[in-house]
Amino acid sequence: MPSNILKYNFSILHIDYVKLNNKWNYDNVISPYYRLYYIDQGTGSVSDSSGKLILETGYLYLIPSFTLCNLNCEEFMSQFFIQFFEESPDGISLFNNHRNVIKLKADDMDIALIKKMHQNNPGRGINRSDNPKVYEKEAYYKEYRALNDKMKIHQKFENQGILLQLISKFLNSSSFRSNYPQITSSKILDTMSYIQLHLDENLTVVELAKRVNQSKDYFSKQFLLHTGERPLNYIHKKKIERAQYLIATTNKTFIEIAIDTGFANLPHFSKIFKQIVSITPGAYRNQNTDLK
């Protein structure tokens, strides 16, 4: 676990209290930000690569950024939700090794914190639609980031403090700890940071191993040991996460995005994108356009 935990910064995108019905039914949602739910009435469900979770009254749910999931409500459900971006100097997410939904029982303090944050941030709901295909737009991101820029300093600190308290519960959960390596080599952490900061380059395992004065085979084995992934798979996953963000939040062409994420050509980019996301870049963009 990184020693300087306060290097992580979280900026609010949306927060609101909503009542949902069977129209809240969306598949293959992948967002470049986090979602945190507190359910206070009714039931729904969220499913990810590890299975299906029932959204139950009295529970908190955290969906890390770039987690592929399906959202569903069959009859009625009301919830507080917070959507927020994560930022860190090295670009390595707290949930880098855990792209799954986490469920925890809410206590009185959690509920009070969420309600206080909601009260302190009026007018921060989506106010357009509950469909990610509608509200995940670059213009809307800019709009709410502009609201953050206008926020008074004490409000920013209070929002940050509440989010840190809520996130700390998930970091302490058994499901998170089982997915996070207890000790990570400094050379591997340095490599992970380097990859995140150079996603626009054609990174190779040979070059990464040379950076930390290790042979390719030894480096690959150490990387797999500490991260659970082979270096090339990790590089591709991070490049495609960046591509997902660019597709969802900009109007860049696919070739521009391929270049921005260090792919030599569009066919290679499209091939790796489909391997990781299970759909083509075009299909992913269609999921982030207005409903017809």
Measure the CA–CA gap between 113 and 161, rounded to whole angstroms: 10
Asked if CATH classification 1.10.10.60 holds for the domain at 186-287, the reply, yes or no, is yes
State the number of CA atoms in the 13 A half-sphere of 91 facing the CB.
14
Selected residue with higher pLDDT from 145 and 119: 119
Predicted confidence at residue 166, as pLDDT, reads 95
User: Which of 2-11, 165-174, 185-194 has the least mean pLDDT?
Assistant: 2-11
Whether the predicted pLDDT of 290 surpasses 50: no
Spell 101-132 as b/e; 16+ CB within 10 A means b. Answer: bbbbebeeebeebbeebbeebeebebeeebbb
Cα R_g (the chain), whole angstroms:
19
Give residue for tokens 């799954």: 100
Selected residue with higher pLDDT from 221 and 148: 221
Mean pLDDT of 69-90: 89
Domain with CATH 2.60.120.10 in the chain: 5-177
For β-strands 69-72 and 44-48, DSSP reports them as: antiparallel
Give residue for tokens 């213009």: 139
Check residue 82 and report its DSSP letter.
E
Predicted confidence at residue 187, as pLDDT, reads 84
Which amino acid belongs to residue 72?
N
Contacts of 153 (CB under 8 A, 6+ apart): none
Spell 210-244 as b/e; 16+ CB within 10 A means b. Answer: eebebeeeebbebbeebbeeebeebbbbbbbbbbb
Predicted confidence at residue 29, as pLDDT, reads 80
Q: Which fold has domain 5-177?
A: Jelly Rolls (2.60.120)
Measure the CA–CA gap between 220 and 212, rounded to whole angstroms: 12
Measure the CA–CA gap between 158 and 164, rounded to whole angstroms: 10
8 A C-beta contact, residue 57 and residue 43? yes
Domain with CATH 1.10.10.60 in the chain: 186-287
Centroid of chain to Cα 279: 18
Whether the predicted pLDDT of 258 surpasses 90: yes
Predicted confidence at residue 292, as pLDDT, reads 25
The model carries a pTM of 0.69
